[in-house]
């Protein structure tokens, strides 16, 4: 189901929901069983799923063929979070502090931290460099 770097063993972290980076969204599109199990556990707990719009933009290439991804973002339990002025400022601050340049990764970290959610990712090293305390499910 993917590796987890959880430090909190008291409750399954997906009870707070999940935030997806581009790799997590690609896993959804590829029908990754582990990701669907995480999503099912989150939905069963009544939790929300977060999709930063920047990550969605990286992955969405052919909406007519990306049916699973379109279904995910249309769910009433999914929040697609835009990169607004406040988040753009925070992204810049995170990038400056980490001396990195990936706007999407920084936006994912900001969205996950705000929602108190773990991140579904295929790129744990980059996300950990932005937030060493981030809870990651690696797909």
Which helix (H) or strand (E) segment holds residue 51: the answer is: strand 49-52
- Domains of the chain are 13-138 (3.40.50.1010)
- Categorise residue 62: left if φ over 0, alpha if ψ from -120 to 50, beta otherwise: beta
Q: What is the pTM of this model?
A: 0.90
Rg (CA), the chain: 14
Q: Which two tokens stand for residue 90?
A: 């925070």
DSSP summary character for residue 83? -
* DSSP alpha helix (H) spans, 30-84: 33-44, 53-59, 67-74
Phi and psi angles of residue 136, each rounded to the nearest 5 degrees, phi first:
-120, 135
56-103 tens-digit pLDDT: 999 999 999 999 999 999 999 999 999 999 999 999 999 999 999 999
37-50 tens-digit pLDDT: 999 999 999 999 99
How many helices (H) and strands (E) the chain has is answered by: 7, 6
Q: What is the pLDDT of residue 11?
A: 47
């Amino acid at each position: 189901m993917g590796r987890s770097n959880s430090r909190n063993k008291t409750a399954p972290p997906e009870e707070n929901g999940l935030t997806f980076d581009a790799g997590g969204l690609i896993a959804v599109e590829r029908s990754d069983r582990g990701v669907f199990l995480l999503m099912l556990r989150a939905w069963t707990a009544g939790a929300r799923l977060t999709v930063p719009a920047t990550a969605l933009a990286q992955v969405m290439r052919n909406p007519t063929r990306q049916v699973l991804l379109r279904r995910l973002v249309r769910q009433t339990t999914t929040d697609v979070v835009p990169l607004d002025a406040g988040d753009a400022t925070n992204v810049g601050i995170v990038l400056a502090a980490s001396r990195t340049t990936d706007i999407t990764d920084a936006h994912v970290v900001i969205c996950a931290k705000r929602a108190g959610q773990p991140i579904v990712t295929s790129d744990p090293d980059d996300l950990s460099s932005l937030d060493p305390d981030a809870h990651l499910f690696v797909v």
